[in-house]
Amino acid sequence: MKRPLRALAAAGLLAAGTIVAVALGGTASADTQICEQYGSTTIGGKYVVQNNRWGTSAQQCINVTSTGFSITRQDGVGSTSGAPVSYPSIFVGCHYTNCSPGTNLPVQVKNISSAPGSISYNYVSGAIYDAAYDIWLDPSPKKDGVNQMEIMIWLNRQGPIQPIGSPVGNASIAGRTWEVWRGSNGSNNVISYVAPSAVASMSFDAMAFINDTKNRGAITSDWYLTSIQAGFEPWQGGVGLAVNSFSQSVNTGGTTPTTPPPATTPPPGNAACSVKYTTNVWNNGFTADVTITNTGSSTVNGWTLNYNLPSGQTITGSWNATVTQSGSAVTARNLSYNGTLAPGASTSFGYQATLNGAFATPTSFTLNGATCARA
């Protein structure tokens, strides 16, 4: 959370526990300059903006506006094979005892009904950086110190830099396809979702990424969401990078149902559904994206897709559905947000699996007991 972690997250270069206390600021009105290493201020009565220059002794300054901030000075230079020099950012929640005004974080994942957010960035050329939307989680309701799970959403990266770990496949989340990286920096685990090209603005539900991370087995519903942050990790340059606007809420009071609502089941044998099965295969593993389309005339309210995987294929993680495997038999059930399929509507889920032997695809699929056509 404090960017000594970010050094580890980029290259494992700093020792665990290298932490400097954050300097708390006041409330920004219009155009507040922060050059203090860990200086911060609040805006909008809800968010904290922090300079967070953790990786260099060189000067960094940010200009805080009523809706975000921009980098106005960046003298630090980091090796592209190592760590960035800072993480100027805006956040809700608690970051090393610095909690945003009125926050309801930390809160357990199982008690979150939605976490709508939006971000608008300004990018510059000639610099090496990433634009990162960070989500932090921990098994305990921590307000200080290192959290055990970091979700990084990379909306832009410029230069020869990469997330921690290695690629493990792709995921379709928030209407986009992301390259997924997974690894550990020695102090916390990291799952990164990397956009293939720069995304200047986005509105989405952060729970979609949290649920995908949970479906990969990295966290459970009993873990706590502690903070959500958005900003930049500059390695070289970066003056002019800006968060134009940021909004993030965490709504509680709802849980993901463990049992799908009653389904409108098409008559057995009537192909009122179609399934498209797309894969990315390597030597000892693969990812699969499965798209279900309701081709019938009735709405499907809650769905269960059944099929068999060929021998030698074992699912290790999934997203956008609850996917279980018993022997070769696979059962995929909708989550709370994608269980309703109107006539003609589609939904997608996916998973990663290991592969032992020759690759083959499933031969047939049934949705709520009805055989589906192959798309």
Give the residue numbers annotated as catalytic, written as ranges. Answer: 150, 233
- 66 touches 28 (CB < 8 A): yes
CA-nearest of 374, 301, 294 to 334 is 301
Sign of CA dihedral 145, 85, 231, 200: negative
Reduce the DSSP state of residue 42 to 3 states and report it: strand
Reduce the DSSP state of residue 207 to 3 states and report it: helix
Distance of alpha carbon 88 from its chain centroid, rounded? 19
CA-nearest of 114, 109, 155 to 134 is 155
- 214 touches 220 (CB < 8 A): yes
CA-nearest of 238, 176, 168, 166 to 204 is 176
> How many Å is the maximal CA-CA distance in the chain?
69
The CA R_g of the chain, rounded to the nearest whole Å, is: 22
